């Protein structure tokens, strides 16, 4: 995979580190954010090819961060990730502009395929 940057926003340090490690093994640059507010700022700073947003985070959750990122960049590639998201939340995020939704714990093969589709 070509050298791309992916932004991972998740309030769980353990989740960020596991996902970062898997992506870095694939040669992908990773930027991390611990909540939606930080994700928005890092999106502005790094213009990642893809953002993976946890749906449930303190301060600014994934849905709110998604809205703000789409306002900044209507073509943003965002995947929503959660173990807690309900069907209506997922549908809302897809309507707002998320490209897809992944369930946690991650199916890394599926996630890497989605990343390839969005970033190549």
The pLDDT tens digits for 36-72 are 999 999 999 999 999 999 999 999 999 999 999 999 9
Query: Strands 5-9 and 50-54, how do they pair?
Result: parallel
Does residue 86 surpass a pLDDT of 90? no
Does residue 28 surpass a pLDDT of 80? yes
The single residue listed with the structure tokens 């309900």 is 86
Does residue 3 surpass a pLDDT of 80? no
pLDDT for position 2? 44
**Tokens representing 23?**
């992506």
- Give the count of domains, the chain: 1
Contact call for residues 29 and 42 (beta carbons, < 8 A):
no
What is the average pLDDT score of the chain? 92
3-state helix vs strand vs coil in the chain, percent to 5: 50, 20, 30
pLDDT for position 85? 60
Q: What CATH number is given to the structural domain containing 100?
A: 3.40.50.2300
What is the domain range of residue 93? 5-119
């Amino acid at each position: 995979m070509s050298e791309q940057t992916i932004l991972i926003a998740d309030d769980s340090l353990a989740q960020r580190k596991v996902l970062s490690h898997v992506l870095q093994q694939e040669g992908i640059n990773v930027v991390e954010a611990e909540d939606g507010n930080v994700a928005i700022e890092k999106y502005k700073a790094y213009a990642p090819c893809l953002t993976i947003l946890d749906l449930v985070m303190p301060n600014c959750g994934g849905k709110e961060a998604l809205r703000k990122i789409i306002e900044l960049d209507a073509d943003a590639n965002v995947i929503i990730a959660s173990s807690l998201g309900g069907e209506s939340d997922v549908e809302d995020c897809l309507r707002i502009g998320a490209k897809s939704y992944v369930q946690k714990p991650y199916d890394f093969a599926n996630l890497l395929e989605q990343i390839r589709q969005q970033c190549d």
